[in-house]
Amino acid sequence: MHGTTLSRPRLVVVGNGMAGMRTVEEILAIAPGIFDITVFGAEPHPNYDRIMLSPLLAGEKRFEDIVLNDYDWYASNGIRLIAGEHVDWIDRARRIVRGAAGTEAPYDLLLLATGSSPFVLPIPGAELDGVQTFRSVADVGDMLATARPGAKAVVIGGGLLGLEAAHGLDLRGAEVTVIHLMPTLMERQLDASAAHLLKQNLEARGMTILTGTETAAFIGDDRVRAVRLKDGREIPTDLVVMAVGIRPNAGLARATGLECNRGVIVDDFLRTSDPAIFAIGECVEHDGKVFGLVAPIWEMARVAARAMTGTPGIGFTPAASVTRLKVSGVEMASAGAFLGDSGTEDIVLRDGARGTYRRLVLRENRIVGLVAIGDASDAAWHFQLLKDGTDIGEIRDSVIFGPLADGPADPDAAVMALPDGAEICGCNGVCKGTITRAIKAFGLASVDDVRARTKASSSCGSCTGQVEALLRAALGTEYAPATVKPVCKCTGLDHGEVRRRIVGGKLKSIPAVMQALEWKTPDGCHVCRPALNFYLLCAWPGEYVDDAQARFVNERMHANIQKDGTFSVVPRMWGGVTNARELRAIADVVDKFDIPEVKITGGQRIDMLGVKREDLPTVWRDLNAAGLVSGHAYGKALRTVKTCVGSEWCRFGTQNSTRMGIALEKMSWGSWHPHKVKMAVSGCPRNCAEASIKDFGVIATEAGWDLLVGGNGGIRLRGTDLLCKVTTEAEVLEYCAAFLQLYREEAHYLERTAPWIERVGLDYVKQAVVEDEDNRKALAARFLHAQTFAQADPWAMESAAAAGAKFTHVAELT
Amino acid sequence: MDAIMTDTGFVDVAALDDIPQRGARTVATAHGDVAIFRTGDDAVFALRDSCPHRGGKISHGIVHGHGVTCPLHNWVIALATGAAEGEAAASCVPRFPVRVAEGRVLLDVSAPLAPA
Ligand code: SRM
Ligand SMILES: Cc1cc2nc3c(=O)[nH]c(=O)nc-3n(C[C@H](O)[C@H](O)[C@H](O)COP(=O)(O)OP(=O)(O)OC[C@H]3O[C@@H](n4cnc5c(N)ncnc54)[C@H](O)[C@@H]3O)c2cc1C
Ligand code: SF4
Ligand code: FES
């Protein structure tokens, strides 16, 4: 040890962590030996790299590997280290600090580097054994005592720390569930699309990720055994790790009267309100900001070291920095205003096959933010452009591809370079040679031909581009790709292709589709989002979670918007039949809510027009009380089933058309479709219910029922085509269900049955629904299965839910 | 609902989470209804809830990127400027200063912003 010279000023550091020791290192570099240094550290260790706690937890590193300054370092620099003693008092008048064990150290200059503490949720059970945080080596030790293969662990918090803990526990063999309050993971570093990819990746490793989920309590006697969620669910567990945020350790400074807010307040030179005391790291607050990552702390250490040694220098300004992390092994980066703000535009690049996503946020042709996940290799270059404020106008078309993307590479070259044995279509295991040989042998000329012959590209479709390259190579200028009519400007794919890839690629959310299909905008537009929402709903009944924000206002509000912003309300009247109780309830509602107009619709029911937005839930509640439910007059859904009076009353009637219509409506109400669907049943060929201009019409005959399809009485009048004749009511229902399901599964969004049938041909529909009995039964079964999830009255659900903000102002400032 | 005055003309009108992502909520003001939009990337904008075309309530529109599509006739309004895409410059929706602090939405309705 170096001898101590009494004349040297004494520097005492409180906090033996990353910020404190980095400052000491900076001081030693500028002016070695200038201070007589004493360091107090509450942890019984030399300074270690806190960032490396995750690899320590995961078993990828040992403690020795993550020590930054070992005991020799302190000794050889003449630093007195008091490890394991917490400082709990500072006598500012006498300039002495005192430790919990009574050690006292006088100072001329004091540096507070006390870091921060994890936030503990103030909920019942937080004190139980097995409920802990993640900040120190000791915390890792506690986790490892429980986390053995097969143990259950719950991590609360889906930010950086929580996911690191989850990753480590997962690698230790624990069954990990992550509970995150916000709708997306790591919302402070990632936008929704990137967060979606991260979640997918973690789930693929077997973790359970619950977003938008709030924890209510921890259950157990002495030791935690379950976590209870706000919605009442309980998740059994052996361990709970809370990683919900940190709070600066400013208590000591506050107690001794230093100016503090959230953290210890420092100026640009890291001085506190007492000129003899500096503070640095996560315990400080500078210019209203507190800190949680090391990059700005390194800069603080440089500035503080200069100020403390009297070396001239410029003050601390938190520089824009790029956060590059590898969370749970997934590369990511974000910087600047990566969420965008007023006046920004986006450039998005998604690679569905590799699971990568990057987004540049531009303002006036300059990059102001970026986010990348899966592949952050160009983030440094993009960040440089951001920092330099480079005008990227010239390279705007290629900038997203990174610095190497000067000339457009030949995308076909890569495919041609592959050997014949290389697999092109992963779904169906078709390799290149099989495809090229089939193209030659059978004279295939289109992607559809290749699909039909080899199965390549017929499932998830992500290899379509490669198949096209092979066709181009084989046919040269002869190859005429089918003209594609893209869904909208957000994609180059058409409706059919999008639908095929949703099913084939097992894509189950809008972000998943946008990622895998390489959408060109961050979150689509008013054309594609409603379409995707329907396609997903149709493909994954009971599984897909409907996205209200992807629906047109009428479907979101369960009522038709009118030109003055009021709404119309149309309850269902099954088959057009009503009774005194329903009519009385309607009359009462009209009086009670002062509804200006009541009209009989063209669909055999009653429309109340001019209902105020804020009245909707109560209007529905009153109607529900009389047994009236939503008529879906607002939806791309089953609308009405018109009937005539039929054989029960009419002198010409041959069958009970009213009962048939009601049975059809009971079977199919609540179903969502590419467009609205209307049905009708007439009791004889006089056809009073106008069945021959409906999407699905039924006309009774002496022998049974004629089934009619593809009619339209709207913009372009089209009479129905005869699908077939059946004899029983059960057959009417089965054929109807099968027909509706075929339309649901295959039509383009906003295509009514009339144009759909003209596009695919009546014969195709007959083949699928009439001639192929197995197929008909399977279609009908899929329809009825989907209906088990669809038949819940939206009015009852909305008026029961407490959340009324959709129907009212959030605030009134008048 | 409570509205708490803060510094200058900003008033705390809602929690950010009261507004769905890619959605809007409304505030009644002396200037008529104001729609507060929250985009997919959590940017927040305040505009008069009235489309320059025929007064449609843009708060009911589908929000995409930093734009909203009016529910009545599909005009697309840029949230940052209030301008209607592809329409005359005069077709601009008045905007109001709005910001988010600690998860709360602060709105200033003392006067609309000057046209962008
Ligand atoms: C209320 C009603 C008129 C009436 O007072 O009778 C009506 C009203 C509207 N119709 Fe209709 N249609 C109504 C029966 C019809 C009929 C007749 C029928 O169903 O028997 C037709 C022709 C039949 C057909 O659809 O093939 C009809 C063809 C249309 C069309 C053209 C559709 C087409 O494919 O060409 C539209 C526009 C659209 O959907 O895009 C439309 C759209 C509308 C909308 C929803 C306009 C809109 O998008 O806001 C109107 C809103 C009404 C509201 O706010 O409540 N309405 N509409 C009828 C409601 C029936 C019901 O009980 O649900
Ligand atoms: C698991 C984990 C992973 C992380 N990963 C990253 C990452 O990938 N990238 C990144 O940039 N950042 C990461 N961080 C954050 C980074 O570690 C911190 O920003 C950094 O450690 C802060 O340094 P500090 O010195 O202010 O606080 P600390 O490193 O916490 O040091 C403070 C020290 O002071 C001691 N102390 C407190 N009060 C007293 C007292 N009164 N008396 C004596 N001693 C006291 C504490 O015990 C502690 O040892 C991670 C953090 C954790 C916990
Ligand atoms: S369809 Fe025939 S049976 Fe029915 S009401 Fe008209 S005329 Fe009578
Ligand atoms: S009122 Fe908005 S587009 Fe017509």
Taking the Cβ of residue B13 and every Cβ of chain A, the question of whether any pair is shorter than 8 Å is answered with: yes
Q: Which long-range contacts (CB under 8 A, 24 or more apart) does A311-319 make?
A: A311/A30, A311/A31, A315/A267, A315/A268, A315/A269, A316/A268, A316/A269, A316/A270, A316/A286, A317/A268, A318/A286, A318/A287, A318/A289, A318/A291
Of the candidates A53, A254, A272, the one whose C-alpha atom is nearest the C-alpha of residue A144 is A53
- Residue of chain B nearest A565, judged by CA positions: B57
Residue A544 or residue A332, greater confidence: A544
Task: Say what the pLDDT of residue A409 is.
Answer: 52
Q: How far apart are CA A99 and CA A105, in angstroms?
A: 9
Q: What is the pLDDT of residue A366?
A: 92
CA–CA separation, A439 and A62 (whole Å): 57
3-class DSSP state for residue A229?
strand
**Rounded alpha-carbon distances, angstroms, from residue A8 to A3, A5, A34, A108:** 11, 6, 7, 9
Residues forming beta bridges with residue A277, ordered by sequence position? A110
H/E stretch holding A796: helix A794-800
Q: What is the rounded CA–CA span in Å between residue A444 and residue A384?
A: 49
Q: How far is CA A300 from the centre of its chain?
A: 36
For residue A798, name the pLDDT band (cuts at 50, 70, 90).
confident
| Interface contact flag, B11 A187, Cβ < 8 Å | no
**How far does the centroid of ligand 4 lie from the alpha carbon of residue B84, in Å?**
10
- Domain A322-401 sits in CATH 3.20.20.80: no
Neighbour-count burial for A379-412, b at 16+ CB within 10 Å, e otherwise: beebbebbeeeeebeeeeeebbbbeeeeeeeeee
Classify residue A770 by its DSSP letter. Answer: I
Band of pLDDT at residue A3, cut at 50, 70 and 90: very low
| Residue contact A522–B20, C-beta within 8 A | no
- Give the CATH number of the domain where residue B64 resides: 2.102.10.10
- Average pLDDT over chain A reads 91
Cα-Cα-Cα-Cα torsion B101, A159, A84, A296, nearest 10 degrees, comes to: -60
Lowest mean pLDDT among A149-153, A338-342, A511-515, B100-104: A338-342
Tell whether B14 is within 8 A of chain A (Cβ): yes
Does A1 score more than 60 pLDDT? no
Of the candidates B27, B56, B74, the beta carbon closest to that of A813 is on B27
**What is the residue with the minimal CA distance to atom 3 of ligand 4?**
B73
Cα separation, A367 vs A361, whole angstroms: 6
Best interface-test mutation with B: which of A526, A546, A554, A560 has the largest number of B CBs within 10 A? A526
From B63, B64, B80, residue closest to A342, measured CB to CB: B80
For residue A534, pLDDT over 50 is answered with yes
B42 touches chain A (CB under 8 A): yes
**Domain assignment of residue B116, yes or no:** no
Per-residue model confidence (pLDDT) at position A804: 63
Query: Comparing C-alpha atoms, which of A307, A308, A271, A305 is closest to residue A286?
Result: A271
Task: Specify whether domain A131-244 bears CATH 3.50.50.60.
Answer: yes
A582: confidence class by pLDDT, cuts 50, 70, 90: very high
> Residue A802 has what pLDDT?
56
Sort out which chain A residues have CB atoms less than 8 A from B46's CB and list them. none
The closest alpha carbon to A86, from A247, A248, A251, A272, belongs to A251
B27 touches chain A (CB under 8 A): yes
- pLDDT, one tens digit per residue, over A304-337 is 999 999 998 889 988 777 777 777 677 788 888 7
**pLDDT of amino acid A220:** 93
CATH code assigned to A413-478: 1.10.10.1100
Out of A381-395, A491-505, A757-771, which region has the weakest mean confidence (pLDDT)? A381-395
Q: Is the CB of A684 under 6 A from ligand 3?
A: yes
Residue B116's pLDDT is: 66
* Ligand nearest to the Cα of A44, by number: 2
Three-state DSSP class for residue A140: helix
Does B1 map to a domain?
Answer: no
Of A187, A806, A813, the CB nearest to B28: A813
Q: Enter the tokens of residue A264.
A: 């210890």
Dihedral pair phi/psi, residue B50, rounded to 5°: -155, 120
Rounded CA gap, A459 and A471, in Å?
Answer: 18
Instruction: Say yes or no to pLDDT of A94 above 50.
Output: yes
CB contacts of A806 in chain B (<8 Å) are 25
| Class of CATH domain A10-116+248-308 | alpha beta
The tokens of A753 are what? Answer: 């049955």
B38: in domain: yes
> What number is the average pLDDT over the span A354-378?
86
User: How is the beta sheet containing B10-15 ordered, strand by strand?
Assistant: B4-5, B10-15, B104-108, B98-101
Average pLDDT of the residues in A675-697: 97
The 3-state secondary structure of A648-693, one letter per residue: HCCCCCCCCHHHHHHHHHHHHCCCECCCCEEEEEECCCCCCCCHHH
Residue B115 placed within a domain: no
Per-residue pLDDT of chain B (116 residues; tens, 9 = 90+): 344 444 568 999 999 999 999 999 999 998 899 999 999 988 999 999 999 988 999 999 999 999 999 999 889 999 999 998 877 766 789 999 999 988 899 999 888 887 76
Q: Which domain holds residue B97?
A: 7-108
- CATH number (3.40.30.10, 3.30.413.10, 3.20.20.80, 2.102.10.10) of A638-790 reads 3.30.413.10
pTM value? 0.68
Percent of chain A topping pLDDT 70: 96
Ligand nearest to the CA of B71: 4
Query: Do A378 and A320 meet the contact criterion of CB atoms below 8 Å apart?
Result: no
The count of residues in chain A is 814
Alpha-carbon span A255 to A246, nearest angstrom: 20
- Same fold for the domain at A131-244 and the one at A638-790? no
A139-150 pLDDT, tens digit per residue, is 999 999 998 888
Ligand 2 neighbour A40 (Cβ under 6 A): yes
Q: Is B43 exposed, middle or buried (0-12, 13-18, 19+ CB in 10 A)?
A: buried
- Cα A595 to the center of its chain, rounded Å: 40
Report CB contact under 8 Å: B71, A813: no
Lowest mean pLDDT among A30-34, A389-393, A477-481, B35-39: A477-481
Q: How far is A556 from chain B (nearest CA, A)?
A: 9
Phi, psi of A236 (to 5 degrees): -65, 140
CA distance B84 to chain A (A): 14
Q: Enumerate helices (H) and strands (E) in chain B, giving the number of each.
A: 0, 11
Total CB pairs under 8 A between chain A and B: 127
Give, rounded to a whole angstrom, the gap between the first and last alpha carbons of chain A.
74
Which of A187, A554, A812 shows the shortest C-beta gap to B28? A812
Report the pLDDT value the prediction gives residue A613, as an integer from 0 to 100: 92
- Please check whether residue B57 lies inside any domain of the structure: yes
Ligand 2 close to Cβ of residue A249 (< 6 A): yes
pLDDT at A131 over 60: yes
Question: Could you report the per-residue pLDDT of A607-619, keeping only the tens digit for each?
Answer: 999 999 999 999 9
Q: What is the pLDDT of residues A242-293, one digit of tens each?
A: 999 899 999 999 999 999 999 999 999 999 999 999 999 999 999 998 998 8
The answer to whether B8 contacts chain A (CB < 8 Å) is: no
Write out pLDDT tens, residues A447-490.
888 988 888 887 666 678 888 889 988 888 788 777 778 999 89
Chain A hits for B71, Cβ within 8 Å: 552-554, 561
Backbone angles phi, psi at B85, to 5 degrees: -55, 130
Can you give the residue ranges of every domain in chain A? Answer: 10-116+248-308, 131-244, 322-401, 413-478, 495-551, 554-613+620-626, 638-790
Give me the mean pLDDT over the A542-546 stretch.
93
Q: Does residue A48 register a pLDDT over 60?
A: yes
Neighboring chain B residues of A521 at a CB cutoff of 8 Å: 64-65
